[in-house]
Structure 1
Amino acid sequence: MQLTRLFNEFFNSEKASGIILIFVTILSVTIANSSLQTPYLNFWHTNIGSHDIVHWINDGLMTIFFLLIGLELEREIYHGELSNFKTASLPIIAALGGILIPAGIYLLLNYGTATQSGAGIPMATDIAFAIGILSLLGRRVHPSLKVFLTALAVIDDLGAIIIIAIFYAQAISWLNLLIALAIFVALLILNRLKVLNLVPYILGGILMWWFMLHSGVHATISGVLLAFAIPFKKNDEKSPSYMLQHFLHKPVSFLILPLFAIANTGIAIPGNWVEGLMQLSSIGIIAGLVIGKPLGISLFSFAAVKAGLCQLPSQVSWTNIIGAGVLAGIGFTMSIFITMLAFNDAAIVNSAKIAILIGSVIAGITGLLWLRLSLKKQNIPTEE
């Protein structure tokens, strides 16, 4: 099975990014619990203009991350695993299970409480971390499994984006929202007129972001909308979508995501942090990521295959699907992102972040060991 150049580039960049994210997260947590704790945490909340540094990263730079996610999703829809129903159905159905079951587990524990708004936290998969862990297994991982996990994670993130747009919007400013959507429509018209120059799309995207920022809908949604307005041409490396995606891989993987991780994992671990983990919100997050993700992905995949809606990818076994489901429990980036939107109480946010880190570490180690064992037993020859 030959992987496209763009997919290989994406996979390799995410692999390196996952390793960097692990390093900067450990560094950030260490500094936040050292003698430098106060100046370190205060730095991230230094105001620049009307917002602090963390806000600019989460609402500004992360829009570029969502733009890349949108471009990757566009590629998958037009040319990749999502380009026809037969190949797209399995990761789509698997992702649906990986969204509904973790949310269900969380709500089972938190429904009717002040923390029920955190149901979106265990839904998402961190692409960089999941692929970074998968890459540690080297050549024994068949390309079909790489593509399945990547498509699953991209669809997962799309689900998270939709959830953010619907459930985590603030009071809506309809004028700003309508202006942002009008700009999006104008960009779609440019696309239909076959305008291939990226400049008007980027300028329009910046304007759309500004109005979206002031609309009450999270500003990062503008990144996804911009992605689908940019022209895409199959097998054309000079198409605007291809060029922008190629350009953004390294800045997102090696600058934006590490900055997000450093800024949002400066967690001052209190002496009573174990008590924080006993809260229903923390238990729901860990259970959703560690149990809900593999359970939902595996059950929905199995049901879909048995119903004849889709089939397993070549050289991928059910034990591999379970392993991919466990790795999908690495929530990290998107889970922390949703945490910042779901909760206002600093203590709950802190406990939720610790729960996300613990759940993601458990999922990462368990998924790595599971796949290492199952792939060794399969002894499947793989391709570069």
Structure 2
Amino acid sequence: MRLACLLLCLWGWSIGMAGAAPVITPPDAGIDALMRDYDGMQPGAAVLVLRDGEPVFRRGYGLAVVEDATSVTPQTNFRLASISKQFTAAAILLLAQDGKLSLDDKVKRWLPSLPAAADAITIRHLLSHTGGLVDYEDLMPATQKAQLHDIDVLHLLESSDRTYFPPGTRYRYSNGGYALLALVVGQASGQDFASFLRQRIFLPLGMHDTFAHQDGVDEVPNRAYGYSRVGGHWQRTDQSPTSAVLGDGGIYSSLEDLARWDAALYDERLLKADWLKQAFTPATTTPEPDVPFYGFGWRLNGETAWHSGESIGFRNVIVRYPQRHFTVIVLTNRDGPEPYPLALKIAHRFLYGTP
């Protein structure tokens, strides 16, 4: 029997050597190894790779809820943090497409209580982080414990009659600018921001489990909670005083819903081509090494359009290669590390076969 097995193995080997196609390691073979630190009984991650609109890799690692050992799955909803900004930008573009506002409107047309220093700031400036607004986080009282909402950001900015620079002259990343954009959406549409997103973007695209989350208003299904490493142990750090601000980072979504969002960025099911193009057109240069340009809610670098999202207990990234119809999404419910380099490694495995 041993001799027969040996002869069979040698025969198969010789056939392979004689001309059979070489065995090619699938490009996803090393991704589990890259994600090893997220697996097991600890806060985890979800990874999606899309090619031509189809998932070629989709997997969850580790735990969405550490306390009851709920595993991360492709349906797990993570707080997107600043990835939310691309939805805020899309809402503004929808309203501009509808003729409800102009990107060159002065923001004070919609939010007249802003101080005189904001007179020259336009919606376009806020979309591209060139408005020069003072960081609202720096205006918060040191003792702030209650959660802020978008309207509270406006009130904080009302008290600061200055800007960092004349609007339109420089780039400075501004969470406050996107909180104000959420309020503009509300004013121009006659709906609250969360309802507008749900009715005009999420539901039409089939993103049924995606919410601009508001405590007491909606429930996030399959929710991941955020954690931080404290004293060698994982501690839940899901919410901070700024976690209820929606326009700059309050959306929860999953791999499955984000695949639908990605698909809508290739056609006109949401925005007409001329309006969609504006989101991915450089609106300003930036001093950041990985971000030569910023569009509207998107960082632009060579062939990629991407954005990260970081908040207490969450680190996420979406990296799109539009010309290749290829996208990598990594969502995590922990305070680090920042997953952008990891997403690039995953992309390179699929696109170039590099480790």
TM bucket normalised to smaller: under 0.3
| TM-score scaled by length of structure 1 | 0.22
Whichever of the two has the greater Rg, that structure is 2
TM-score (norm 2): 0.23
More strand by share: 2
Larger relative contact order (Cα-Cα within 8 Å, sequence gap ≥ 6): 1
